[in-house]
Amino acid sequence: MFAARLALATALGALAATSCGSDGGTSTGTTSGATATTGASSSSTTDAPPTTDTPPTTDTPTTTGSTTQGSSDGTSLSTSSGDATSSTGDSSGGGSTSSASSGTSTSTGSESTGGGMPIAFFDCTELTVVDLQLKEKISGAFDAQGVPLAVLATMVKGGAIDFQIAIAGPVAADDPYAADVAFWEQELTAQGWDVNPPGDPSGDRRYIFIPEGAQFVAKFSLFYYRIYEGGGNGQFEFECIKQ
């Protein structure tokens, strides 16, 4: 009985010793493993390289001030901060004006006023030697193109009217005396003008000859050519002074 208990106690002691050794080994192994793992982690982990800063973004240049570009019509285009504005304004000089809305330039100055508007007046004295009763004087005006206006021929003595025309016209090609007019134009180096009343060409026919550009000079010669209905003609010279 005693022996049996001794054997049982011995067996229990051996079992306890075995259990203790097993637990310690496991614990030790686990701890070493953990330690080894920790070491591996420490030895294999490296710091990440420092991140390079992103280069600063270059700001888009800001346009300041204004630039002006010329154009063929004289209009300038001003650009400021990306906005375009048309610059025209008014310009004057040499008798020309510019339209502010279109830039387009219109010349006036020396151009014709048109519409038969008189720009100069003249008075003419007859130089041909004739009897006082036949002596005449002629007056009138010019428009910018040199067209004779308000031409009036009167007798010096008594003031009777020989002819009067509001606007003298060029001689028509079918005028019955167109050939005579062409001859005198070449002979006098002057332009012939028809001063006959409109309508029937019968009766006396009258023409005056004036040098081209007479509207721009102070003095010029005028030639009066009259064809009589009954035959023959009269040729009369005048000296004209521009008023």
8 Å CB contact between 113 and 106: no
Q: Is position 139 within any domain? A: yes
Q: Is position 82 within any domain? A: no
Q: Which of these ranges, 29-38, 53-62, 117-126, has the smallest mean pLDDT? A: 29-38
Please give the Cα distance from 104 to 100 (Å, whole number): 8
pTM of full prediction above 0.85 = no
Look up residue 218 and give its amino acid.
A
Task: Centre a 10 Å sphere on the Cβ of residue 167 and count the other Cβ atoms it contains.
Answer: 13
Q: Is position 113 within any domain? A: no
CA atoms within 13 A on the CB side of 209: 19
Q: What is the 3-state secondary structure (H, E, C) of 45-97?
A: CCCCCCCCCCCCCCCCCCCCCEEEECCCCCCEEEEECCEEEEECCCCEECCEE
Q: What percentage of residues in the chain have a pLDDT greater than 90? A: 47
Please give the Cα distance from 69 to 78 (Å, whole number): 7
What is the model's pLDDT at position 27? 38
Q: What is the 3-state secondary structure (H, E, C) of 148-172?
A: EEEEEEEECCCCCEEEEEEECEECC
| CB-based burial label for 210 (10 Å; 0-12, 13-18, 19+) | buried
Q: Is position 93 within any domain? A: no
Distances in Å between the Cα of 102 and the Cα atoms of 16, 87, 91, 92, 95 are: 117, 10, 13, 15, 18
Please give the Cα distance from 243 to 238 (Å, whole number): 16
5: confidence class by pLDDT, cuts 50, 70, 90 = low
Q: Which residue has the tokens 């026919």?
A: 205
Q: Is position 147 within any domain? A: yes
Please give the Cα distance from 122 to 183 (Å, whole number): 26
Distances in Å between the Cα of 178 and the Cα atoms of 14, 48, 61, 193 are: 165, 113, 79, 11
Q: What is the mean pLDDT of residues 156-162?
A: 95
What is the model's pLDDT at position 198? 85
Q: Is position 111 within any domain? A: no
Residue of higher predicted confidence among 90 and 178: 178
8 Å CB contact between 190 and 211: yes
Which range of 4-13, 44-53, 195-204, 223-232 scores highest in mean pLDDT? It is 223-232
Please give the Cα distance from 92 to 96 (Å, whole number): 5
8 Å CB contact between 223 and 209: yes
> What CATH code is carried by the domain that includes residue 197?
2.40.128
Q: Is position 183 within any domain? A: yes
Residue of higher predicted confidence among 27 and 218: 218
8 Å CB contact between 103 and 88: yes
Residue of higher predicted confidence among 224 and 84: 224
Question: Which domain, by its residues, includes 129?
Answer: 120-242
**What is the number of domains present in the chain?**
1
Q: What are φ and ψ of residue 120, in 5° steps?
A: -155, 150
Task: Centre a 10 Å sphere on the Cβ of residue 34 and count the other Cβ atoms it contains.
Answer: 10
Q: Is position 214 within any domain? A: yes
